[in-house]
Structure 1
């Protein structure tokens, strides 16, 4: 029997989400994929809170008197002298800055990597991965510097080299995130991250820091068994796992 088509038409198709602007005009919601790449207070509270802190310190670095900013950076530096004197405070203080400010590539990498990682393993565990990369890569680079100074291979000024920023934590987060992605995204991501690190080593402008990036990336990769146990299915609009 055929259905009658004389009655009011009904549809089961979902209505796209929209927001109402003042005056009654409708505004389309952001594309789901784009929304999944950006942090939100409810979905990624750790990333949002940390990004807010970094935004404040970056504004301070951009607007304050340069000499005062240099003093702040020096006091936050994870050099050998500071690590021997007050290791925990200086490791935490160092992670409050982005080298290059908000326009640095590390700022974009921070937001994208930590957002994707936090959506999959949660905020506390993301913080653990980030801190592991930040701390272990710092120690792996600064301890050899201290030993080289003791052996007379480096001058004493190397004990006070300026070293601060979130890049080690970001590198570890990228490495850990790769382990939660499917092969089609995992290997290109590692290729790009590893290529950037090796390019820095080739330029030899700051080999100690660049070796630290390589160590941090390896820390993230070494964490694959752990983060895979922590993994929870990502929302459909997140970075794909295929």
Structure 2
């Protein structure tokens, strides 16, 4: 059930990396930890500037540390998956889960922020269409976790409109 270097090298290696970063979080200066978290954040700005780097760097951190229920369950499931399909395929499944989930939450935020810069008529039209599509996904209940994540992301993007428009006006003012 537990990862081993020979039986599940991908999971064991990844668990070792997570243990290392969790140790950094527990022992390092809080300012350094904050800077590392900020630098590896998969926010819209980082995804536009350095998509590859932050996509990899964001996978180095686990919420709650190595002993969190999430981390323990994740490693047990990844171990079982790797034993069944092999390390390379397990790594592929991991990446297919990590990258699209990141994009699924951040693209709506970026879209919503940029929509705030459109003219009022166009902004409302785009949001009605996009928001309607997201609500329909939720009603279909095919993937409620992703659907809620996208709606929350859209709401976060809309909440940033006052700040975005203020900065945009300040930059474009004569």
TM-score by length of 2: 0.67
Structure 1 residues 57 and 44, CA, compared in 2 at 3 Å: closer, same or farther? Answer: same
How far, CA to CA, are the matches of 1:103 and 1:152 in structure 2? 41
How far, CA to CA, are the matches of 2:23 and 2:86 in structure 1? 28
- Superposed CA offset, 1:128-173 (max 9, x none): 00001110111111111001001129xxxxxxxxxxxxxxxxxxxx
TM-score by length of 1: 0.49
- 1:207 is displaced (CA, Å) by 4.0
Please list every run of 5 or more consecutive structure 2 residues that lacks an aligned counterpart in the other structure. Answer: 118-142, 154-174
How far, CA to CA, are the matches of 1:97 and 1:75 in structure 2? 12
1:125 aligns with 2:89: yes
1:46 aligns with 2:10: yes
Stretches of 4+ aligned residues off by more than 2 angstroms: none
- 1:82 is displaced (CA, Å) by 0.1
Residue in structure 1 matched with residue 71 of structure 2 by the alignment: 107
SS in 1 for 2:60: coil
The alignment covers a number of residue pairs equal to 126
C-alpha RMSD of matched pairs (Å): 2.2
Residue in structure 1 matched with residue 59 of structure 2 by the alignment: 95
